[in-house]
Chain A
Amino acid sequence: MKRPATILLLPSVTILGAFFVLPLIWILILSFLGSSPTGEVVGEFTLGNYARFLTDSYYLTDLLWRTIRLAAVATLFSVLVGYVGALLIVRADPAAQRWMILLVMLPLWVNLVVRTLALMVVLGRTGPLNQLLVGLGIADRPLQLLYNETAVVIGMIQVAVPFVVMAIYGVLQSIPRQLEHAAMTVGATPLAAFRRVTLPLSVPGILAGSVLAFGINIESFVVPILLGGGRVRFMSVAAYETATVSNNLPFAATIGIILLVVAMALLGLYQWAVRSAGRAAPALQAG
């Protein structure tokens, strides 16, 4: 049976080898190659690209740190909104739940450019949000809501929330409602019962949801381009522009590799931190 198994695996392993592994190895190598002022690749080993990135405060703070910071802020809000959404769904009438889930998943099926465009209309100078703010007297004239960090964060939250909802919904669903009722019989108000029972038991969902959201946000590409309007610099966009506009391939590769390493390291660190915090309190095992 061994031969047919290898044959079955061959097509996908080949295509992944050629169009996934090889290119990744190639940009790793490329990131250590020099480039001439015109962007030509120079075939000699250098740490210059990394040195350039890591010594220039523009790249470090304006680009890398901004990317991490915006992704983290958006993740925090995505988890908050997503948790509330998941809780609202899980506590809804079972017949309604199916529809509520369908509506949460709907945006995932709509093209990201379309969704971002929708936010551009909402946040625009003449858009409904500005009309609301002026109408309520919160602002006396329309605010610049687009093309800044807030707009990018709002966009990232919009994108990440459905994923967070699905991750947390799955966990919340597995927690029997009776555990909260039991807390109420010993004197807990519904809020106290939620805080002492459901919330700690849903930590695995929060963890999964935030890892998912951060992973999506840090590689966000369409959102910073459209909602940042070129004013909000972002790692993924910088890598794209360096490669296609300035044609500095080695440096674009360096930005890509740094983004990859930082994203992996932060996610690893986060999961490790949550796990070890969880170990101090007893392990969670619902049901």
Chain B
Amino acid sequence: MGQISVRDITKVWGAFDALKHIDLDVREGEFLSILGPSGCGKSTLLRIIAGLEAPTSGQIHIAGRDVTRDPVWKRRIGLVFQNFALWPHLTVFRNVSMGLELRRLKKDEIRRRVLEALRMVQLEPLAERLPSQLSGGQQQRVALARAIVLKPDVLLLDEPLSALDKNLRQDMQVELKTLQQTLGLTTVFVTHDQEEALSLSDRVVVMDRGAIGQVDVPEAIYNRPASEYVARFVGEAFLFRGIVSGSGARPMLRLPDGTSVPVEGERLQTGREAVAFVRPEWVELEPYDVHSHTGAPRGVIDRLMFFGQTSDYLVRVADRQLRVKRRPDGPALSPGNDVALICKARVLAAQVDAA
């Protein structure tokens, strides 16, 4: 059992199943992201863990205690809200100190701990300001300080960075991760931003319409997604549908147009239908050559976009468009050129079983 364990949690709103039998364990000291589009139930799950929402059925354990029936204020959690929810009538200091005051700690201990927390988020000099006098990033830090000053059993973050602009968000990501590691806090981070989830987390939960699509380390989520949904939601995926052919050592996927793509994957069975995908940076483009590229998928370059270190090539393959990320040091290619796609596609595990 982990620091947080979610057992068979269901949430029903009228006829709508917001959460369907969720099981999840968060390990001690782990940074776990819950990733999904809006409406997938990720915030509801977080609010149920926090105690702001009651589940229709199921149990929540935090630090070994069954807290399912405990109200929010008894759960020893720290929660950072999407829009910060700072108290506008209280100074930064008092925003952070309220939790300690409620615990009736001694005045000098409160002062010591508040200043320590503010120092961690580099806000000590602004202790006497009001929230309205702070920038978005500073407000974010106050919200964070308010959550960690109580040394909670778990830290819950509800899309805390989505209200910040892009540059600030990247800085805050680094700070957040550093802080979490320094304190060794078990952290659940809800986000719809897949890059954020992949770069910060020890493990990522991908949610799909009230259910868990996949739980794994970021590398596995990206490279070995469990389903078409996960493949498409996490990063960009170009899918091939076809029939597995070729020998055990060099499996291929034969596509409806007669071409074939080399594939990899577990337990591939010849003759079975399967779906494979490629990421933009997995594909190499070569000028199409009838002799060397016979049988390989081919396309035409529609457009080229220069990004500095890499360039994006939009390639039309049959009726679909494929984005290829490519260093500009290969053979020169320009719009209109015929190209062959050189790549190894990854077969989606779930599709194999489904066939």
A and B touch in the complex (CB under 8 A): yes
The answer to whether B87 and A197 have CB atoms under 8 Å apart is yes
Q: List the one stretch of A92-100, A124-132, A177-185, A231-239 in contact with chain B.
A: A177-185
Contact A282 B147 (CB under 8 A): no
For the complex, give the distance between the alpha carbons of A185 and B88 in Å: 17
A186: interface (CB < 8 Å): yes
A281 in the interface, Cβ–Cβ < 8 Å? yes
Residues of the B chain whose Cβ atoms lie less than 8 Å from the Cβ of A282: 89-91, 130
Any B CB within 8 A of the CB of A189: yes
Is B150 interfacial (CB 8 A cutoff)? Answer: yes
B73, B83, B90, B132: which contacts A178 (Cβ < 8 A)?
B83
Distance in angstroms from A286 CB to nearest chain B CB is 6
Known: A178-B83, A201-B89, A282-B90. A184 touches B98 (CB 8 A): no
Min CB distance A145 to B, Å, is 42
- Does any Cβ of A come within 8 Å of B103's Cβ? yes
Q: Which residues of A contact B88 (CB under 8 A)?
A: 179, 201, 284-287
Contact yes or no, A185 B98, CB < 8 A: no
Q: How large is the interface on B (under 10, 10 to 19, 20 to 34, 35 or more residues)?
A: 20 to 34
Contact partner of A281 among B87, B89, B98, CB < 8 A?
A: B89
A189 partner residues in chain B, CB cutoff 8 A = 71, 73
Closest residue of chain A to B47, judged by CB? A181
CA distance A284 to B99 in the complex (A): 21
Contact status A186-B89, CB under 8 Å: no
State the CA gap A200–B88 with chains docked (Å). 10
Q: Are A187 and B90 in contact (CB under 8 A)?
A: no
Given contacts A186-B98, A186-B150, contact A178 B89 (CB under 8 A): no
Q: Closest chain B residue to A281 by CB distance? A: B89
CB-nearest residue of chain A to B101: A196
Q: Min CB distance, A179 to chain B, in Å?
A: 6
Q: Scoring A residues 183 to 203 as 1 if CB is less than 8 Å from chain B, else 0, what string do you get?
A: 111111100110011001100
Chain B residues with Cβ below 8 Å from A281 are: 89
Assembly CA distance A181 to B52 (angstroms): 7
Is B81 in contact with A178, judged by CB distance below 8 angstroms? Answer: yes
A183 and B147 contact, Cβ closer than 8 Å, known pairs A188-B73, A197-B87, A200-B89: no
CB of A230 within 8 Å of the partner chain: no
Chain B residue nearest to A201 in the complex (CB): B89
Tell me the minimal C-beta distance from A161 to chain B in angstroms: 26
A17 within 8 A of partner (CB): no
* A176 contacts the other chain (CB 8 A): yes
Known A-B contacts A184-B72, A201-B88, A282-B90; A196 and B98 likewise in contact (beta carbons under 8 Å): yes
B103 contacts which chain A residues (CB < 8 A)? 187
Q: Which residue of A lies closest to B83 (CB)?
A: A178
Bound: A226/B74 CA distance, A: 54
Cβ-based interface call for B12 (8 A): no
Interchain CA distance A189-B88 in the complex, whole Å: 20
**A282 to chain B: closest residue by CB:** B130
Docked CA distance A283–B89 (Å): 7
Q: A176 — nearest CB in chain B belongs to which residue?
A: B85
Docked complex: A197-224 residues within 8 A CB-CB of B: 197, 200-201
- Give the residue of B74, B85, B147, B150 whose beta carbon is less than 8 angstroms from that of A181: B85
Cα–Cα, bound, A281→B88 (Å): 12
Provide the residues of chain B in CB contact with A185, threshold 8 Å.
Answer: 50, 52, 72-73, 77-79, 147
A residues in contact with B91, CB < 8 Å = 282
Residue B146 CB within 8 A of the other chain: yes
In angstroms, how far is the closest chain B Cβ from the Cβ of A281? 7
Interface residue ranges of A145-197 to B (CB < 8 Å)? 176, 178-179, 181-189, 192-193, 196-197
CB <8 Å contact, A187 and B89: no
Cα separation A181 to B146 with both chains bound (whole Å): 13
Q: Which residue of A lies closest to B91 (CB)?
A: A282
B69 to chain A, nearest CB (A): 15
B183: Cβ under 8 A from any A Cβ: no
Chain A residues whose CB sits within 8 angstroms of the CB of B79 once the complex forms: 182, 185
The 4 closest A-B pairs by CB, nearest first: A186-B99, A182-B85, A184-B72, A185-B79
- 26 A-B Cβ contacts within 8 A? A176-B83, A176-B85, A178-B81, A178-B83, A179-B87, A181-B72, A182-B81, A182-B85, A184-B73, A185-B72, A185-B73, A185-B78, A186-B78, A186-B146, A188-B102, A193-B73, A196-B87, A197-B87, A282-B91, A283-B89, A283-B130, A285-B89, A285-B130, A285-B132, A286-B88, A287-B88
